[in-house]
Amino acid sequence: MKKNYLKKFALLTLSTIMATSMLAGCGSSTATKTDSGSKTATTGASKAPADYTGTIKIWSWNTELKDLGIIAKFNKVYPNLKVQLVSIPNDNSAYVTKISSTMSAGVGGPDVFLAESAYVKKFTNLDFYEDLTKAPYNAETLTSKMVPYTVELGRNEGDKSIRALTWQATPGGFFYKRSIAKQYLGTDDPAAIQKMMTTTEDFIKLGETLKTKSNGSVKLLAGYNELVNVAIGSRTQGWVKDGKLVIDTKMMEYIDQATKIRKEGLDAKFTQWTPAWTGSMSDKTTFGYMLPTWGLPFTLGINAPKETGNYAFVKAPTPYYWGGTWLGVSSKSTQKDNAWQFVKYITTNKDFMEAQAKDKGDFMNNVDVQAKLSSTDAGNNSYLKGENVYKVYTELVKGIDGKLFTQYDDTINNAWNKQIDLLIIGKTASKEDFLKKFKADVVNAYPDIKVD
């Protein structure tokens, strides 16, 4: 699975017609008075956002904070805080390595730095991020409106303190083409299609139906591996528990599911993020895609803009999430007060979140904003023929268990996907050989993890 999808933003113009329509607003925020040049934040009387002055250095692997207008919105409220965004592409883990080496050195680092879901746990479990649970941040008091799994992913696994927060939630589901559904299934109604895929087994049967009725021309998925996030989301145990590798039964079932999809000719054999994959989003033979919230405006919307009105969205057989960006205050920052204003504003300010959802179609990490959009026409999406996608997202996000995810996930997921590919294309002879190779990869990456 490609993880650095957002690095494409610098090369793309985001179309506002892809955004979810909603009420807009730009509000103000008050903050705890601090000494803006001190290394340790202090408490005191409140002061206006305009009273904060200085420069905040932010590190990221992409420029999404600029491209999505987030910095611009922040500066409308905090006009005297300059944001210096430094982008370090994460090709070959360059960004993660740079953060690790700089934070270990203790000098020359950022005031705020971002972390993708794939590796946020690596940073929160170290002392790279400031402990936001403590005063004057008191982040625990700010999380009541946030989606629980997003808070869990930002916690240190040892002391359970909050180290990073996020402005977005990224539940995933299935986006399908109405035209194909209408022609071969007799309906394009999301409610009817949903009933056809209540389990992964039902979903695969749906693919078999499409194959039969189209004489083999229509494929259920672009690639079999689009189901891996569904399998990961359906687990009851994470990859590592008490220092031991755990392969959940749902992952074992996924091996058989992936094998069947490829063997029965139910996928188009396209690899994610390739031109063939993105091109299939506007063809007449690929039924749909397992994508998260950001997949609507930033994947389908960009790669298949002429398909407006031809897509619909339903829940996947199991709730899952994919991606997302967390951020926190660097423990080495000399601008912690100012840095916290930025982190707090984009992760807790309701007016910002409503405006961001209107402008960019992001699914915001605030249950009040979610409730407003999911219960009114403000949540209707033109790309999905007026379907209230926020309503489905809001239902999906409740089923995501953030406690399943560990600091090892990115590396282990990559090892799993690599070995599954070798099994599917026949370079690995059997499931048993696959498991041997997968376990060997885990041991090589993490010698301290016990593997049976």
Number of other CB atoms surrounding residue 135 within 10 Å: 9
Average pLDDT over residues 396-415: 92
Which pLDDT score, from 0 to 100, does residue 11 have?
36
Q: Are residues 19 and 85 in the same domain?
A: yes
**Which is more confident, 13 or 75?**
75
Q: Are residues 278 and 415 in the same domain?
A: yes
Looking at the chain, the whole-number percentage of residues with pLDDT higher than 70 is: 90
Name the residue among 13, 132, 10, 27 with its Cα closest to residue 73.
27
Which pLDDT score, from 0 to 100, does residue 76 have?
98
pLDDT higher than 90, residue 6:
no
pLDDT higher than 80, residue 374:
yes
Q: Would 53 be classed as within a structural domain?
A: yes
Distance of CA 375 to the CA centre of its chain: 24
Average pLDDT over residues 43-72: 90
pLDDT digits (tens, 9 = 90+) for 96-150: 999 999 999 999 999 999 999 989 999 999 999 999 999 999 999 999 999 999 9
Which pLDDT score, from 0 to 100, does residue 164 have?
98
Number of domains in the chain: 2
Q: Are residues 165 and 176 in the same domain?
A: no
What whole-number distance in Å separates Cα of residue 153 and Cα of residue 242? 18
Q: Would 164 be classed as within a structural domain?
A: yes
**Which is more confident, 165 or 378?**
165
Which pLDDT score, from 0 to 100, does residue 359 have?
84
Q: Residue 120 belongs to what domain range?
A: 5-169+324-378
pLDDT digits (tens, 9 = 90+) for 336-371: 999 999 999 999 999 999 999 988 888 999 999 999
pLDDT digits (tens, 9 = 90+) for 7-17: 444 333 333 33
- Cα–Cα distance list, 337 to 2, 43, 58, 155, 162 (Å): 35, 10, 14, 21, 17
Q: Are residues 219 and 91 in the same domain?
A: no
Q: Are residues 344 and 436 in the same domain?
A: no
Q: Would 387 be classed as within a structural domain?
A: no
Which pLDDT score, from 0 to 100, does residue 30 have?
36
**Domain-terminating residue out of 334, 350, 378:** 378
pLDDT higher than 60, residue 403:
yes
Which pLDDT score, from 0 to 100, does residue 235 have?
94
Which pLDDT score, from 0 to 100, does residue 38 have?
38
Q: Are residues 239 and 176 in the same domain?
A: yes
Which pLDDT score, from 0 to 100, does residue 40 have?
42
Q: Are residues 123 and 25 in the same domain?
A: yes
Q: Would 450 be classed as within a structural domain?
A: no
pLDDT higher than 80, residue 181:
yes
What whole-number distance in Å separates Cα of residue 196 and Cα of residue 186? 12
Contact in structure between 53 and 80 (CB atoms under 8 Å): yes
* Structure tokens that stand for 100 in this block: 């690790």
Q: Would 228 be classed as within a structural domain?
A: yes
Average pLDDT over residues 191-209: 97
Which pLDDT score, from 0 to 100, does residue 165 have?
98
Give, as one character, the DSSP assignment of residue 307: G
Q: How many helices (H) does the chain have, and how many strands (E)?
A: 19, 14
Q: Would 384 be classed as within a structural domain?
A: no
Secondary structure of residue 138 in the 3-state scheme = coil
Q: Are residues 311 and 242 in the same domain?
A: yes
Q: Are residues 411 and 369 in the same domain?
A: no
Q: Are residues 148 and 277 in the same domain?
A: no
Which pLDDT score, from 0 to 100, does residue 402 have?
86
Residue 11 sits in a domain of what CATH number?
Answer: 3.40.190.10
Average pLDDT over residues 409-419: 95
Q: Does the pTM of the predicted model rise above 0.85?
A: yes
Average pLDDT over residues 49-67: 97
Q: Are residues 425 and 359 in the same domain?
A: no
Average pLDDT over residues 32-43: 39
Q: Would 452 be classed as within a structural domain?
A: no
Which pLDDT score, from 0 to 100, does residue 405 have?
87
Q: Would 383 be classed as within a structural domain?
A: no
Q: Mean pLDDT, the chain, as a whole number? A: 90
Q: Are residues 119 and 27 in the same domain?
A: yes
- Residue 28's pLDDT band, with cuts at 50, 70 and 90, is very low
pLDDT higher than 90, residue 264:
yes
pLDDT higher than 90, residue 32:
no
List, as own/partner pairs, every contact residues 22-26 make where C-beta atoms lie below 8 angstroms and the sequence separation is at least 24, other chains included. 22/354, 22/357, 22/358, 22/372, 22/373, 22/378, 22/379, 23/354, 23/358, 23/372, 23/378, 24/354, 24/355, 24/358, 24/359, 25/351, 25/354, 25/355, 26/73, 26/76, 26/77, 26/351, 26/352, 26/355
What whole-number distance in Å separates Cα of residue 49 and Cα of residue 28? 8
Please state which of the ranges 26-35, 123-132, 289-298, 299-308 shows the lowest mean pLDDT.
26-35
Name the residue among 70, 86, 67 with its Cα closest to residue 13.
67
